[in-house]
Every structure is written in structure tokens, then in C-alpha cells.
Structure 1
């Protein structure tokens, strides 16, 4: 449904269909007309045929619609599927954090270079206070969680297969191709900080690619491209 501005106040028309709106909910959404996060009202309406502004005959119901509290544009409820700017930032931050942990769990935390690159990625995503000690503690805790693992790689270690999908799949529809590739490329760069890819790291990066909706050939291309960056 395209946005529709409220009609300007003026003289009533001789006759026509008028809509009486009723608010049934509210919240915050990303308004495409305002270009940012705004409050909204979820509204339903009753249509009536009116003569000289006086409603007479019912013409059924309409809506629900989402009405921006700032610009008063009205949209279909599908606009609520798009996360707000604040929510999108949080989803992206959590996704990068989860991917970094998964790579560390696959390759180990012994390399200072790998830890430093993982810390840099997580801080850049929004966790400004992240430290190497925190990441190591989290990886050790995950490795002790025997209920979440990828047995084809490491039957004794938690490698966040479930968490990767939970963190990335809700985010993926809202990312452009370049954004999805950037997350996988970052994972590859963390894995390569000490040496080549281990089988466990390759499996984790492949899982990341699947969750991001990337084709296998694109995953391989990005992994090879990461080798050329210093």
C-alpha cells in the first residue's frame, strides 16, 4: 500500500465516501517518507457514504493501516516487517559478534593475531568495550555447552551452528548483497589471521554463507579474496 497523506481541511464536498479511523495499536517503525524511525498508529477504518459531510450509508471497513505520527503518511502493515534503525543496528552488532565467536570456536583462541582481529571486528560492529579476555571466556563457555555443536567438525566443541542461523537469518532479508558479503569476508579474515583455513573454519564459514543466503561459489570467491588482503 502506498503512502497517502491526510487530505487538507477545506469545504466539505457535496457527497462522497468518508473514512472514520480508529486507533487499535501503536509503536515505532521506520517511515520511508520521513527516512527514519518514527512513532506510528495502527488504525482501522469504517467507510461511509456522506452527503454534505454527514455520514449516511455504510460502505464497509478498510485497513488496517500504519499511520506515521510525524508525516501522517499511511502505509500497509508490511512496513512493520522492516526493522527500525536502532533494531537493525542491534541485529547487525549481534550477528558480527556471533560470527566472530563461531570462527574462534572453530579455530581456537591461542593465536593473538586471530583474537585481535576478532576483537576489532566486534568493536567496529558496536561492542566498543569488547576485549580478548571476554571473547575467550565466551568461547570456553560455549565449548562446555555440549547441547549445541556441529559433530561433523568437532564432537567436543560448541561451534554455534544454531546461533549462526538465529543471528543471521532474520537480518539477511534487510541486507544488500554487499552487506551480506562483508559479514562473510570479515569471518574469513579472522580465520586467516594466523594461517590458512582449517577444516572446522571452512565449515563454519560455509554455515555463515548459507545463513546469509550466499551461493557456494560466492562463498569460495570471498574466501579466496580474503587471502589477498593484508
Structure 2
């Protein structure tokens, strides 16, 4: 004989927001609903007295798993791809502008990297046009640290602009991914010969913006000639 539950607490959920997020349970981009709940004491399943609120909680529309709202701060796969492409673009242009813009081999290295990371139509002509346009629009450089040195003034992208592109990406990459971005920039710098002072200054900013410790930046840049 089944027992009838006389009293209990029931939660009535209300959706206050919806959208797309990266679902940790599904392992991919999914729709979500952000819900808040009102708890009520029920007697014979009839809601009577309020018992406060609960939530908010993010609910995956596919697997129906519940997550803390902080899960919505993780970028979707699409957003992460966009952040990565922007980072590659900024690093390549910054390194070229710091010393390699006049070198065919450095430009070829930059074009190859850009094509491999989503800029399939990028070619040398487009790169030259973009370099010229950005160089013409370049403002006076901002203050820089002693480690980054005065030659950074010859760079294409200001330190603030470069950091603004890289900082949102850094928390979402493993150390290998962050180091890979720095090393690809180093390979562009080395394509036409040893590092120039301005190139090292830009790469130091890249490493710092990607949360790579300074000693690891030095180690990676020293090892990069073997990779290039």
C-alpha cells in the first residue's frame, strides 16, 4: 500500500533569462534557462505557506543538468574560437609592426599562421594593406615598463590594445595553449633573423597578458629558434 505524503516543500521555478552556454555535462554549446524558485510548504500537494526563494540556477535545455550561474561565464565554443582568432590576429600584427613588416619571410610566416587559425582568405596583399592602414592610424605609445623597453614604440599595436585582446582569452586556455600563442609570435619575429629589441618588447607584453610568468617567457623565447 503506497503512502500519501501529507506535507512537503515544493519549488515553483520561473525562467528569468535564456541563451546559449557551454554545458559542462554535454561537453558542447547548448541552450540554457536561468531560473529562480519560490519555495512553498504544501499540504496534500496544495501550496500554502511561503518558505523563501532558491536559485538562481542555470539549467541545460538538453540534459537538464543544473549549474551555478558562474557556468555561464565560460565562453561557448563559438565565442572561444572568436577570441582565439582575435588574439592570433593581434599578436601577428604587433610582432610584424615591431620589426618584420618589411620582410617577406616574416610576412609569409604571419600569413601562414593566420590562415591556419581561421583567416583562410588572408594573403600577403591583404596583410600589407592592413599593416599600412594600422601604421598610419597608430597613436603615440603609452607608458611601458622598463622590461618592455623603449623600442616598443615601433610596434604596431599599443600595449593597451594588445592586452585588451589577450586578457579575455587567457583564463580559458591551458598553459600549453597560452605558450603556443607566444611561440607562434616568436617564430614570426625570428623568420627574418634574430630578435630585434622591439620584437622582444612586444613578445614580453604578449607573455604577460597571457599570464605566463616572466621566467617562462624568457625560457620560451630562448628556445624558439630551435622551433622556427
Unaligned runs of 5+ in 1: 1-10
How far is 1:54 from its partner?
Answer: 1.6
Are the equivalent residues in 1 in contact too, given 2:58–2:67 (CA < 8 A)?
Answer: yes
Alignment of 1:1-230 (within 5 A): 13-147=5-139, 149=141, 152-153=150-151, 155=153, 158-230=156-228
Provide the rounded CA distance (Å) in 2 between the counterparts of 1:122 and 1:149. 25
Query: Using the alignment, how far apart are the partners of 1:16 and 1:119 within structure 2?
Result: 65
* Structure 1 Cα separation of the partners of residues 4 and 39 of structure 2: 16
Please give the alpha-carbon distance, in whole angstroms, between the structure 2 residues aligned to 1:64 and 1:201: 48
| Structure 1 SS opposite 2:227 | coil
Deviation at 1:46, TM superposition (A): 0.2
Aligned CA RMSD, in angstroms, stands at 1.7
Structure 2: distance between partners of 1:12 and 1:103: 72
TM-score of the superposition, structure 1-length normalised?
0.90
- Find the aligned partners of 1:174 and 1:155 in 2 and give their Cα distance: 30
List structure 1 segments (4+ residues) > 6 angstroms apart after TM superposition: none
Write the distance in 1 (CA, Å) between the matches of 2:14 and 2:4: 21
Structure 2 runs not aligned, ≥5 long? 144-149
**What's the CA shift for 1:12?**
7.1
